[in-house]
């Protein structure tokens, strides 16, 4: 297994994840191409973009997120792992984050709805309370004819 320019923990995690999914380095075809985007002469001269293809599944990943080729190699493999997990039906870290965000958004919506409902009830009871107070202090000024 290759070591990339990331922490030992990340290298270890990548190795374990690849083994658990049955991804072998021999099954990965790796090419280096020139990146696109900002950077001028440096980008035009160096091949930091990493293109990998997993032969058994046919999944292709192209990564040019970082200036470093080594880090892009790590990121490309991580992306490959996520795609293979998605194909196998497992929840990826990205899916879990998306699920949590959706759940949190739903909670906020419910809380806001309850808060709005409580404010409407408070306003209604306050306006009713004022009319009740006014009714209690009301003294009739006109007298009836029969009296």
Q: What percent of the chain has pLDDT over 70?
A: 85
pLDDT in tens, 82-115: 999 888 887 777 788 888 999 999 999 999 988 8
Tally of residues, the chain: 147
Indicate if the pLDDT at residue 138 is higher than 60. Answer: no
Helix boundaries (H) for 22-92: 41-45, 69-88
pTM score > 0.85 for this model? no
Domain range summary for the chain, segments of one domain joined by +: 8-90, 91-134
CATH number of 8-90: 3.30.160.20
**48-70 pLDDT, tens digit each:** 999 999 999 999 999 999 888 99
User: What is the CA 57 to chain-centroid distance, rounded?
Assistant: 26
What is the layout of strands, in order, in the sheet containing 59-63?
Answer: 28-33, 49-54, 59-63
């Amino acid at each position: 297994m290759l070591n990339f320019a990331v922490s030992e923990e990340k290298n270890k995690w990548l190795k374990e994840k690849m083994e658990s999914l049955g991804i072998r380095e021999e099954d990965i075809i790796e090419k280096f191409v020139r990146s696109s985007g900002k950077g001028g002469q440096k980008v035009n001269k160096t091949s930091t973009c990493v293109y990998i293809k997993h032969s058994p599944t046919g999944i292709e990943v192209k990564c040019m997120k970082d200036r470093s080729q080594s880090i892009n190699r790590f990121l490309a493999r991580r992306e490959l792992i996520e795609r293979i997990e998605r194909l196998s039906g497992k929840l990826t870290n990205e899916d879990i984050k998306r699920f949590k965000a959706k759940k949190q958004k739903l909670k906020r919506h419910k809380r806001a709805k309850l808060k709005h409902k409580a404010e409407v009830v408070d306003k209604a009871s306050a306006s009713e309370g004022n009319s009740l107070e006014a009714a209690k202090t009301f003294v009739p000024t006109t007298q009836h004819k029969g009296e």
